[in-house]
Amino acid sequence: MESVVSFLSTSVRDNLIVTFLCVLFAYVVVKYGYGPFNFWKNLGVVQVKVQYPFIGNLLIGLRMAPHELMSLAYKAFPNERFVGTYTFQKPVLMVRDPELVEAVLIKDFSTLSDRGSSDDPNSNKLSKHLLNLKEEHWKIMRNKLSPTFTSGKLKGMHQQLIECAGSFMTLMKDLEDGRSFEVRDLVSRLTMDIIASCAFGLSIDTINHPESEFRNMGLTIFKPTTKGKLLFTLRVLPKPVLRIIRKLFAASTNFEKFFVGVVDSTLEHRKQNNIVRPDFLHLMNEIRQKEQEMIAKKELDGKAPYLFDHASLVSNAFVFFLAGFETTASTMSYCMYELAKNQDVQEKLYEEVEEVLKKHNGEPSYNAMHEMPFMEQVISETLRMHPPATGVSRKVSKEYRIPGSDVILHPGVNVFVPIYALHHDPQHFPEPEKFLPERFDESKDAVRKGTYAPFGDGPRICIGSRFARLEIKVAMTMILQKYKIVTCDKTVSPLVYDPNSFLLVPKGGIWLAIQPRNKV
């Protein structure tokens, strides 16, 4: 009898333990697994459906390109001005209404001046650049660097663009037999040479030597991988946690050593040989030298915050390299792709190029580049369909009431502008999948504010956007002068984007061919 009682007691105890553990598990799942995903509901904001506890829609996001995931949320709520979403467990408000977009990026910039997913500017030797800086530090840095991109400075670099594009045209000559080529691979060599020349003052001739260390570094950084995308997505985690994750999973690289070495050796070589070049590196070094001279004269406190130090110079040279290499190559590739598919547009652009160059002795001069309105329209439409930034985020720095609502956001909440989705919304751009450069004809109805922002908008708009446009205009002018761009049997339409890239990268590349104009 005692054994039976003992058995029953043990059984009851075990059942109680199991029941307690089940209840505890359920509590943890509900409170910590699903609890964070009630953030927007508690504020009365419509939100996307969350698939899994703890990780939200992370697994779905890893299977899709970032712009595709946000476009799904954008299209799912056509009557909402803003929608609650989550990155991992972090709440992110997606704004759909153009007036709200304008408020977030421009009108209310003082409350939303920081990027929502920036890294710690002191995390490594290449992180102290404009994209990562916050509030006052960003403002001071932006003011220092803005003169680097004035019309006068860009005009001084124009000849370097012409020389690089000239070498590229020699490479194009080898393709006159009509064989197909992968556009991004080819064009990235040109943009690499241009940014190496205009940012670092180096002649690396990647066009003829594609295996250069410079190009390999750039390709490695932008190579789409699931691990890279995961690390990019997890940037919303607390910085101490993120540092641990990066140490565990991030592959060791020589990026820092390579770029710091390039900058330092270039500056030392120029100093020893009294070399002055009108490039970004020289202009940034002038900023640093001027501050050092002011410190020496006691006109500036050497311990003043936000000085333009060595880390600032190297970091901004690095980010200019990244932006000037990949995003410009992508835009130029997409431009060639759309022109190949739309021969009527290409011929109209060719006629404009011919007409303008006749006025400038056949030379793609700096002034000639500013006399091509249809070229501007073609580039703008390319950027609409294939924006370099598919979305931008801002972080709320102080209590913010969403205009036209009772919803109040507290500091730390991220606000996301889905640029790709806005660019492909038929309400803003009828027949959005058609390549129609005339949308941007200034003599017609203007594009609605808050619907077009390929480089972002407001005070934090990409500082190098004018340089990128100039680069594309020079290259496209010289290509169209001599060649007709055509599709080939390898051309894919529509393009399918690589889900592992945080940029718009087509799977399998973009394949085209060219025909000499004198043979057409």
Residues that constitute the known binding site for heme: 462
- Binding-site members are 462
DSSP 198-245: HHH-----TTT-TT-HHHHHHHHHH---HHHHHHHHGGGS-HHHHHHH
Beta carbons within 8 Å of 298's beta carbon, 6+ residues apart: none
Distance CA 97, CA 455 (A): 18
Burial of 434 (0-12, 13-18, 19+ CB in 10 A): exposed
What are φ and ψ of residue 119, in 5° steps?
-90, 170
Cβ pair 427, 406 in contact under 8 A: no
Cβ pair 432, 426 in contact under 8 A: yes
N-term to C-term CA, the chain: 104
Task: Report strand pairing: 392-395 vs 483-486.
Answer: unpaired
Burial of 508 (0-12, 13-18, 19+ CB in 10 A): exposed
Specify the 3-state DSSP secondary structure of 393: strand
Task: Report strand pairing: 483-486 vs 400-401.
Answer: unpaired
Q: Which long-range contacts (CB under 8 A, 24 or more apart) does 23-32 make?
A: 29/53
Residue with token string 């409170």: 31
Beta-strand ranges (E) seen in 313-358 are: none
